[in-house]
Amino acid sequence: MDNKSENKLHGKDYAWLAIEAGIASIPTVGSALQTAYFGAKNEKRFKRIENFYKELSEDVEKLKNQLTNPDEISQYSDEISQYMEKMNEIIESNTTLAKRSMLHNGFLNILKSPSKINWDQEQYFTSIIPQIDLTDLQLLLATRKLERDKWAMISDVVNVFEGKLDKFYLIGLCERLTNLGLFEKRYGDINMGSDGTIIETYYRITNLGKDFLSFTMDPPTPSS
């Protein structure tokens, strides 16, 4: 790829330039609004990245005897740099601590042993992180505790959250996790009642879902 193509603006860059130009065009106050919004926006974005790498540095120091060597990092420099680029984009645009923690854990797992990383799987996991929220994670963690041959019904899922979350909201999350390949489902009995036909549906975490949790939630721990 030549330097010209690398320096081209992407679609989202044009979008932000258009927004910035639109704000600046507002009579009298446009320039002040432009400075106030984009100045604060960039400051927050850079602060999030600064804090992320500060926390990462602290954990790397604790784990330095368990992490890989510079030669292995050089060997996988393309894959690691791609992860860092995607990671920075997510951190810049997202304020959620849970997602930053997932990226943090993923990076530590990469630094532990790049040669053991399934890089195709990593790319998929990194693309999933912006699409899910803390409740999705809680669902994945709860179903990971199930015995191998056990499935969860929606009533079980509702109980996990002590009835505080709407049943249909949780059904939607289970379906989203199924579409992402992190859950699988099967159907049970079909019951006819005054409220219509009800099909019992069961969910459980897939092996892909377990791998996703291992990558994003189970970082290396300091040796005692």
**Same domain flag for 159 and 108:** no
**Same domain flag for 163 and 106:** no
**Same domain flag for 104 and 157:** no
pLDDT string in tens for the chain (224-residue length):
444 444 555 555 665 566 566 666 766 666 766 665 556 667 777 788 888 898 989 999 899 889 888 899 999 999 999 999 999 889 888 878 899 999 999 999 999 999 999 999 999 999 999 999 999 999 999 999 998 889 999 999 999 999 899 999 999 999 999 999 999 999 987 777 666 667 789 999 999 999 999 999 999 988 76
**Same domain flag for 88 and 155:** no
Q: Please report the pLDDT score of residue 27 as a whole number.
A: 67
Q: Which two structure tokens, joined as six digits, stand for 2?
A: 């030549």
Full domain range(s) for residue 97 = 3-131
**Same domain flag for 126 and 155:** no
Give the whole-angstrom CA distance, residue 92 versus residue 220.
25
Q: Please report the pLDDT score of residue 48 as a whole number.
A: 85
Q: Please report the pLDDT score of residue 193 as a whole number.
A: 65
> Is 184 part of a structural domain of the chain?
yes
**Same domain flag for 169 and 65:** no
Q: Please report the pLDDT score of residue 5 as a whole number.
A: 46
Q: Please report the pLDDT score of residue 120 as a whole number.
A: 96
Which residue, 109, 131, 153, sits at the end of a domain?
A: 131
Question: Taking Cα atoms as reference points, which of 184, 78, 72, 188 lies closest to residue 122?
Answer: 78
Q: Please report the pLDDT score of residue 1 as a whole number.
A: 44
Which residue, 111, 131, 151, sits at the end of a domain?
A: 131
**Same domain flag for 127 and 138:** no
Residue 210 CA, distance from chain mean position: 14
Q: Give the Å distances, CA to CA, from 151 to 3, 138, 179, 206.
A: 53, 16, 17, 11
* CATH code, domain carrying 180: 1.10.10.10
**Same domain flag for 122 and 150:** no
CB 177 within 8 A of CB 138: no
**Same domain flag for 75 and 156:** no
Residue 104 CA, distance from chain mean position: 10
Prediction pTM value = 0.80
Q: Please report the pLDDT score of residue 214 as a whole number.
A: 97
Residue type, 1: M
